[in-house]
Chain A
Amino acid sequence: MIGMPASRIWNRVFTALAMAVLAYAVLAPLSSLDVLQSLGMPLLTDKLWFRLATITAMFVVMASAWNIIGGLTGYAAFGNVAFFGIGAYTVGMLITKARWPFLLALPLAPAAAAVFAVLIGLPLLRLRGHYFAVASLGVGVAVGELVQNVDFRGEPLFGGASGLFLPILAVPNRDLYFFYLMLAAAAVAIGVTWAVLRSRFGYGLIAIRENEEAAAVIGVNTTAYKVAAFALAATLTGLAGGVFAQWNVFVDQENSFPIGYNVEMILMALLGGTGTVFGPAAGAVVLQLLIQFLSGSLPITLQIPFVPDDAMPVLAQVVLGVLLMLVVVFAPRGVIDFFGGRSTLSIAYLRRSLRETSV
């Protein structure tokens, strides 16, 4: 490694680290299989491990999906949680009301989210900048509200405020099953991003991000491309929602349309680096573990003197807000910028970032 620039070395160290984490995440759950347990294999993963890992994989899907519309196309979508909720409710409704089997209902979750994205995208994607951002935020809020409150002949159509209870899926090693399912969704999301970035479609999206008029002039059908990107993001997010519904066996407005997810997925993509293949996934893993750590869900917890335990989740939100501020102010190109070889973390870098954007 002598003679190599420091950034290359960092690059290799982080790639190796990421591969190790990935290999552990993929292989460790196998230790919970009965065959290996009976052979005396130590159990590497408990219920908590599976919970955290499945949620993290879920956020990898959502951050990667947001990256397609927000990072590649440059449209600041703030309401992607609507797609997650629609996916979750599609599976929830099909299973509880129509008694469909889970694996039959699951493909309809991304389909429903995609159809919704096309319908809502056609008017909304005509808007730009602030207008699109807040309009999409409005969609996220309004859809959740409608789902909870729409009545049909005096009965709540979608389970109302009490939500939907799904029957527990009868599969052996349920935790393992859903973790691998969510992991597969994450792999699909990353794979789709990779494929899009290498396609004519991806170049079109980047052209739209850089200059929409110019893109139109060189023959990119901007409306079709934008709606397609929005629908693609919705498909992946809806898939995550569909898996979530059966995994969690309970869906309601609060767990299917949490406004906080909108910003968390963006922050993850931003932290890892928007417009890249692996950036959003890396950001999702790091930030999700940090959020869980701060809210005291990890085995290692934080003890701060004078702060009672029940105030910790609230304090975690404050820390998240401060983190959001620091990333936005000091590292607008994502933390991955320091490791990818383009920049090094230094006082000079921070000062340059500041000077570029402040008055």
Chain B
Amino acid sequence: MAALAQLVLIGLLAGGIYAAVGVGFGLVWGVLNIVNLAHGALVIIGAYLTWQMFAAWGVDPFLTLPIDAIALFVLGYAVQRGVINRIIRAPLLFTFLLTFGLNLIAVNVLLLIFKSDFRSVTTAYSGAGLELGGLVIPYIRLAALAIALVMAALLAILLSRTRVGLAIQAVGSDRDAAQLVGIDLRHAYAVTFGLGAAVAGVAGGMIAMIQAITPTAGEPYTLQAFVVVILGGLGRVSATVVGGLVFGLVEAFGQSIPGSGSVFANAIAFGVMVLILVTRPQGLMGRLR
């Protein structure tokens, strides 16, 4: 029983990170109809920003998260406005290749700057945790889960209650009609991508506190984000959060099976994805459109 509770807890804590990574990916996919293969790179750029500020100036990693968000928003806005907007109406293969190219550039520029060494953010409180029936829950992971949930809630509120958010939703449901009512498409797209990047950056900042990072560490997160969004159902922030938590649980249970292990992370993710796509393509929380 204790082992089961432990697995559930591990799963939920990991799921918080998956939700944080998936939310931005799902927003961009839902509104722009782009599967952003550079999403993992955006996550890892956020992670390196946090590491750089922590290592060079000793800034507390949690205080760097808003800076990650702002920096990644600016970067995302610029990339969408400057590059992706130019092929947004091209066939899917092109947006795929373009974002793959962006990923290649980002990862290799990071490699040029930071080399392929493992970097980690270790603070005075890194080892501390809450002891609960023989199980130690690191405070950092708890905080990461809380931040992920709060961030997702803020994003949901932004999308449903503000002018900008409504414009984004309008663009997502009908591009031409949105343009007719006077929404600046280029700006709306760029803001959407910027928001997705900002959320990815914060997720990356939290990942830097939890695991050692390298420039290529972001790549698994792209596939996992995709699985999370499919699992929850495309189109709503809350669905992606559920998808992230469920995926964390599935992974925790999958890796506890004897003979399995962390080496099968991608295979598990892929298995879950195919199962969902074939049996329930609209996702756990999705509505058929």
Same assembly: yes
Which residues of A line the B interface, CB within 8 A?
Answer: 70, 76, 78, 123-124, 126-127, 129-131, 133-135, 137-139, 141-142, 145-146, 148-149, 151, 259, 263, 266-267, 270, 311, 314-315, 317-318, 320-325, 328-329, 332, 354, 356-359
Determine how close the nearest CB of chain B comes to the CB of A73; give it in whole angstroms.
12
Residues of B with C-beta under 8 A to A146: 264, 267
- CB <8 Å contact, B111 and A126: no
Determine how close the nearest CB of chain B comes to the CB of A302; give it in whole angstroms.
16
Q: Can you report 23 residue pairs joining A to B where beta carbons are below 8 Å apart?
A: A130-B92, A133-B96, A134-B35, A135-B270, A142-B270, A148-B263, A266-B93, A314-B111, A317-B104, A318-B105, A318-B109, A321-B103, A321-B108, A322-B105, A324-B97, A324-B104, A328-B90, A329-B86, A332-B87, A354-B86, A357-B87, A359-B88, A359-B189
Residues of B with C-beta under 8 A to A124: 274
Select A141's contact among B91, B98, B223, beta carbons within 8 Å: B223
- CB <8 Å contact, B101 and A358: no
| Bound CA–CA A322/B230 (angstroms) | 30
Closest CB pairs A-B (n = 10) = A324-B101, A321-B104, A321-B105, A138-B270, A357-B90, A142-B270, A358-B86, A317-B108, A142-B267, A321-B101
Residues of A with C-beta under 8 A to B259: 151
Interface readout for B90-118 with A: 1 if CB under 8 Å, 0 if not? 11111011101111110111011000000
- CB <8 Å contact, B85 and A135: no
Residues of A with C-beta under 8 A to B245: none
Please tell me if B278 contacts chain A, counting CB pairs below 8 Å. Answer: yes
With A126-B278, A133-B92, A142-B267 known, 13 other A-B pairs at CB within 8 A are A78-B96, A123-B274, A135-B274, A138-B269, A145-B265, A149-B263, A149-B264, A263-B97, A263-B100, A266-B97, A318-B105, A320-B104, A332-B87
Residue of B nearest to A154 (CB): B259
Select A133's contact among B29, B35, B83, B274, beta carbons within 8 Å: B35
| Bound CA–CA A210/B258 (angstroms) | 48
Given contacts A357-B88, A358-B88, contact A318 B108 (CB under 8 A): yes
Interface of B, helix, strand, loop or mixed by DSSP: helix
Select B98's contact among A123, A127, A329, A356, beta carbons within 8 Å: A329
Which residues of B line the A interface, CB within 8 A?
Answer: 29, 33, 35, 83, 85-94, 96-98, 100-105, 107-109, 111-112, 175, 185-186, 189, 219, 223, 226-227, 230, 259, 261, 263-267, 269-271, 273-274, 277-278, 281
- CB <8 Å contact, B92 and A129: yes
Among B33, B89, B108, B278: residue with most chain A CB under 10 A: B108
Residues of A with C-beta under 8 A to B223: 134, 137-138, 141
Residues of B with C-beta under 8 A to A138: 223, 226-227, 266, 269-270, 273-274
Given contacts A145-B263, A358-B88, contact A123 B97 (CB under 8 A): no
Residue of B nearest to A79 (CB): B270
Residues of A with C-beta under 8 A to B100: 263, 324
- CB <8 Å contact, B94 and A332: yes
Given contacts A76-B92, A324-B101, A358-B87, contact A145 B278 (CB under 8 A): no
- CB <8 Å contact, B85 and A325: no
Residue of A nearest to B267 (CB): A142
- CB <8 Å contact, B274 and A145: no
Among A137, A315, A354: residue with most chain B CB under 10 A: A137
